[in-house]
Amino acid sequence: MEKKLIRIGNNNSPVLVSNNIKKDFKRWWQLSIGTHKKTPIIIIADEVLYDYHNETLESLFLEIPVQIIELRKIKSSEQIKSPQIVLEILEEWSSKNVTRDTVIICIGGGTITDLGGFLSSIFKRGLRCVFIPTTLLAMTDASLGGKNAINLNYSKNQVGTFYLPKFTMISPDFLDSLSKDNLSSGYAEMMKHAILQNKSFTNKMLSINDLSIKPSTNLLVESIRFKLKIVNKDPKEKKERIFLNLGHTFGHAYESYYSYINQSISHGNAVAKGLAEALFFSFKLKGFNEKTMCDIITWIKKHYSLDRLPNYEQICNFIKKDKKHINSGLKLVLLESIGSPETLVIEEKLCKEIHREFLEFIANI
C-alpha cells in the first residue's frame, strides 16, 4: 500500500487509512483529543481480535497519556446489540463514576462500533469516541457515517442515534487475520457501493474471484470515499443517504429471519441476498438492464448462497419493521441503471408477487 497516510472525509470526523497505525494513531490522538493531560479511556474490543493483535493494540496506548479505566473484551455478535447489555454497561459506568472527559475506544467489527458508538452517544449526553474498525465490513461501511443502533427482539437497528467518532483509524493489516467468511461479508457492502457508484467500480468488483484475499488498498479507499461522499452530503439520511440502504430491506429481513430460526447468517451474507433481490425488483419495475442484473446476481450466487430462501410469508413481519416501511407500502431503494438509484413505494401485494418470481429466477440462473 502507499506509504503515506490516506485521509478521507471532513475535519469533524476524519477517516484515516494507515500502514503505520502506531505512529499515525499517536499523531491523530494529539490532534483530536490532545496530550496536555492524562485522558481516561474505556476500551470496548472484540475479544478474539484484541487477543490476536494484543501487542500492536496495547502499544498504541503506551505512546499517549491515557489512563485505561476499563478494558471490556466482548465476543462479537448481533446479540450484544441489545437493550439489556446496553443498560448493564451504563449502570456499571454510572457506579464507577465514569466522567464526561472519558474517551470510548471501539476496536472490532460493526457490532462493536454500533454498541460502543451508541453507548458513547447517550451516556451523560455524549462521550467522545474513537473507532478502530478491524473487519472489512466495518472499514468500508458499518463504522462510517455516525449511525449507531441496537436491536429489539429479532428486528435489526430499531433504536439508534447519529453520533460521529472524533476520528476513525483503519489499518488494512488487520484484514490479514480474517477468515474468508468475514472478508466476504465486507465484499458484499463493497459491491453495494460499486453498484451505486458506477460501471468502472462494479466491473472491478465483478473481476474479484477469490473473496478470501483482502482487497487492494486502492479498492478499499474507493469504497470508503464513496460512502463518505454520500454521508457528508446527507448526514441525517434525509435524501441521498437513503440510497445506501440498497439491498438492506430484504437483507435485514433475511438476517432477522435466520436469527429467529436459530440459523444466523452474517450481515454481509444477508446484504448479498438483499442486493440480488433489489436488482431483480429493479429489473421488473425500473427497467434495469437484464444482462447486468444477471452478471451481478451470478457473481453473488457464486460467492454467497442463494439456496432455500424463505417465502414472503416467512419474512413479511420483519420487512414491516424496516425503517423505510410506511403506511402506503414498502419504500424500496431500486436502480434504473448502475449509478442511478431512486426510491419507489410499492404495495405489499406486488412485493409478494415479485418476491415469488425472484425465488423462481434464482433457482434457474
Short-list 228, 232, 187, 227, CA closest to 207: 187
Q: Which of 177, 201, 226 is the last residue of a domain?
A: 177
What CATH number did the domain enclosing 202 receive?
Answer: 1.20.1090.10
Q: Which of 149, 177, 205 is the last residue of a domain?
A: 177
Q: What φ, ψ does residue 329 adopt, rounded to 5°?
A: 150, -165
Q: Are 194 and 165 found together in one domain?
A: no
Q: Name the one residue in this structure whose C-alpha cell is 429479532.
A: 154
Q: Is-contact 185 107, C-beta < 8 A?
A: no
The whole-angstrom separation of Cα 184 and Cα 268 is: 7
1 in any annotated domain: no
Q: Which of 177, 196, 223 is the last residue of a domain?
A: 177
pLDDT interval class at 4 (50, 70, 90): confident
Q: Is-contact 135 181, C-beta < 8 A?
A: no
276 in any annotated domain: yes
Short-list 146, 235, 136, 255, CA closest to 193: 136
Query: What per-residue confidence (pLDDT) applies to 326?
Result: 64
Write the pLDDT tens digit of every residue in 288-314: 999 999 999 999 999 999 999 999 999
Q: Are 170 and 190 found together in one domain?
A: no
Report the number of distinct structural domains present in the chain: 2
Query: What per-residue confidence (pLDDT) applies to 2?
Result: 47
pLDDT interval class at 320 (50, 70, 90): confident
What's the whole-model pTM score? 0.94
Segments forming the whole domain that contains residue 77: 6-177
260 in any annotated domain: yes
Beta-strand relationship, 128-133 and 66-74: unpaired
Q: Are 15 and 141 found together in one domain?
A: yes
pLDDT interval class at 325 (50, 70, 90): low
Q: Are 97 and 241 found together in one domain?
A: no
Q: Are 93 and 210 found together in one domain?
A: no
What CATH number did the domain enclosing 30 receive?
Answer: 3.40.50.1970
